[in-house]
Amino acid sequence: MQLEFLKFNPFAKSFDRYMPKFEEKQIEQINKNAQGLSQEDLDSIQYESQLGYSNIDNILISNIDFDQLFKDKLSRISKYKEMSMYPEIGVALDYVCDEGIYENEEGEIATLEFVEDLPRAVEKKLRDIFEYFTYDVLDLQNNGWKFFRKFVIESEIYLEMVMDSSRKNIIGFKELPSYSMVPLYRGSVVEAYKQSVPNVKSDRIRNFAKNQIGYANFGQFGKTRVDIRGYLEPAIRLYNQLRNLEDSLIVYRLVRAPERRIWNIATGKMPKGKAEQYIQNLIRKYKQKAIYNSETGKVDSAANIQSMNEDYWFAKREDGQGTTVEQITGGMNLGEITDVNYFLEKLYKVLKLPRNRWDNNMPGMASLGRSGEMMRDEIKFTNFVQRCQNLFKPVIMDPFLTLAKMRGVDEQYLRSDLFKLTFSQNSLFKEIKELEANQEKLNILSTATAFVSSPMNKSDPNAIFAKEFAVKNIYKMSDEDYALNEKLKKKEEEEAKANQEENGFGFGDQFGGNDQFGGGGEQPQGDEAGPPPLAPEEEEIPPDFAKSLKEEKKPREKKKLIVDQRFVEFVRNYK
């Protein structure tokens, strides 16, 4: 890629040297051979004059000022942060982050799995690198939740990877403000990053190599790919409406709740001007305006934001004549908040929060039961959190692959399709659902066992299913799981056989032999048969034991002797 027009930072070339190249050629061919224009391309052409960049040869170049872009981005992210402070939205964000980042019993937040078998030494080295990167560099146990929350709120996250002085290892990271960063694309692939530093006269623009930044976005775009929209974007309108409604409700109650006082001031024979002046003096002496601050929620008289209540002041002549107003009672139905609940319910729906987590009239997840008793919203919420986790994965995987190449791992083992990053799950509903699904599968398989063929029921006309067919199609076991299960069964059989041989027991199957009584099954024939077994009368008996037999005369001991002879005969015949 040629980006000579960009002035990169001193470490960019070092990172670029370690960037895996196996996917770059494929991406270049796709961009070169694709003939149509995507929706992003069309939007970019229509909007390029407003954003201040050009799309030439399918690559975004920064030869025009980006000030307007960064200004719009700062305004949008500031709005997202403001919304995150709203209590109901904050609760929804906590639910999403608690489900998305969870430390399991082993202290793991994310685990690295291999889709294909790799050489054992390579696999061990990759696991060690992954453990170092997640525990020592990123410290996901302490920073993972914070990273994920920032990603969900701001719709983007940028982590600069920091090299050591030898430029052969990543030793740390720096979290960069999302509003100051923008990715540069070739087609739909990020090629570099640009940072605009405000209030700095020199070196205001800084550029980063692609793999120098751990980057992820929420996957929702406005008019271009650099116009990222996040989780809170659909809730902006409802948030504004709900907040205005709550403020107006507070003002209405404070204004209408108290009864107004009517002041009839005796002014005698004062001229009109002096009477009004006299009344104004009394007003200033006895009256104080109550002011409501919508930003802090305080009611005070520090500023003239919204006037709360006004008394009525009228002058009366000496004879009692003058303007009079009847007493004004306080407002009615001040406890009605149906309209507030309506907008609040819509806000929760936009935030994809399950109803049983915010509706006090419904049972929460604390009351456990069958998954059929739980809400379908829980399934949708779990799927949404998993999509967020998939969008967040590049922040971890891309720098990890760069670090693996720095550590000398062959590039053929660094293809992204060889790995699978799995986050620990904290979804109680999902666990209950899986347990119930497995239980139902086992029940069905148990019922179908009578129709599965085996050597014992070959003649049974009802034995129409093969064992493998029943396991894969009735129990729905995948080919990979079936192969793994057969492998583990064989391993267990070999271990059991080895233990039997080590202990010297010959009770097979469970007694040591091949038949149901612990014998050896079919007897060898010919020369392989060995010497014939001794007849019962030819069994050699130790001298001491024979002597004890001759001397023993008690009936009870003779009964014991019979048992011993039978045991010897049993061992001789079935050994």
**Cα–Cα distance measured from residue 324 to residue 265, given in angstroms and rounded to the nearest whole number:** 11
Quick check: 16 pLDDT over 60?
yes
> What is the model's pLDDT at position 450?
77
- The per-residue pLDDT for 159 is 96
371 neighbors 433 (Cβ within 8 angstroms): yes
pLDDT at residue 370, rounded to an integer: 52
The pLDDT value recorded for residue 477 is 84
User: Three-state SS for 232?
Assistant: coil
Residue 321 has pLDDT above 50, yes or no: yes
DSSP 243: H
Q: Does residue 327 register a pLDDT over 80?
A: no
How many CB atoms neighbour CB 334 within 10 A? 13
pTM score, whole prediction: 0.66
pLDDT > 70 fraction of the chain, expressed in percent and rounded: 66
Tell me what pLDDT residue 358 has: 84
pLDDT at residue 131 in the model:
94
Q: Has residue 334 got a pLDDT over 50? A: yes
Q: Please give the average per-residue pLDDT across 482-495, as a whole number.
A: 88
Is the pLDDT confidence value at 10 over 50? yes
Taking 90 as the threshold, does the pLDDT of residue 90 lie above it? yes
What is the band of 526 on the pLDDT scale with cuts at 50, 70, 90?
low
Residue 533 predicted with pLDDT over 70: no
Residue 234 has pLDDT above 90, yes or no: yes
What is the spatial distance between Cα 297 and Cα 247, in angstroms, rounded to a whole number? 9
Averaged pLDDT, 534-545: 52
The string of DSSP letters for 498-525 reads: HHHHHHT---BTTBSSSSTTSS-SSPP-
75 or 279: which leads in pLDDT: 75
Query: CA angle 284-287-291, nearest 5°?
Result: 115
Report pLDDT for 561. 45
Look at residue 357 in the predicted model and tell me its pLDDT. 84
| Predicted confidence band of residue 201 (pLDDT cuts 50, 70, 90) | low
- Most confident stretch, 144-148, 336-340, 550-554, 562-566: 144-148
Using CB atoms within 10 Å of the CB of residue 54, give its burial: 0 to 12 exposed, 13 to 18 middle, 19+ buried: middle
Give yes or no for residue 55 having a pLDDT over 60: no
Is 70 exceeded by the pLDDT of residue 362?
no
The arithmetic mean of pLDDT across residues 79-90, rounded, is 94
- For the segment 369-394, what is each residue's pLDDT rounded down to a tens digit? 455 545 678 888 888 999 999 999 99
d(CA 539, CA 572): 9
CB 395 within 8 A of CB 147: yes
Give mean pLDDT, residues 319-324: 65
What average pLDDT does the segment 422-440 reach? 77
- pLDDT score at 256: 67
Query: Of all residues in the chain, what percent carry a pLDDT higher than 90?
Result: 26
- Find the range with the poorest average confidence among 254-268, 341-355, 558-572: 558-572
The mean pLDDT of the chain is 76
Which of the pair, 167 or 261, is modelled with greater confidence? 167
**Bigger pLDDT: 57 or 82?**
82
Q: How far apart are CA 71 and CA 227, in angstroms?
A: 12
pLDDT of 47 strictly over 60: no
C-alpha separations of 10 from 13, 14, 16, 207, 209 in Å: 7, 8, 11, 10, 10
Give me the pLDDT at residue 89, please. Answer: 94
CB atoms inside a 10 Å sphere around CB 96: 21
* Range with lowest mean pLDDT among 96-110, 260-274, 484-498: 260-274
**Between 463 and 346, the higher pLDDT residue:** 346
Using the predicted structure, report yes or no on whether residue 517 has a pLDDT greater than 70.
no
The confidence score (pLDDT) of residue 227 equals 85
* Confidence band for 548, pLDDT divided at 50, 70 and 90: low
pLDDT of residue 223: 78
- The top-scoring range by mean pLDDT among 121-135, 200-214, 271-285, 323-337 is 121-135
Please say whether the dihedral angle defined by the alpha carbons of residues 85, 91, 93 and 98, taken in this order, is positive or negative. positive
Q: What is the pLDDT of residue 496?
A: 87
* pLDDT computed for residue 23 by the predictor: 63
Can you tell me which residue has the tokens 């399918």?
Answer: 58
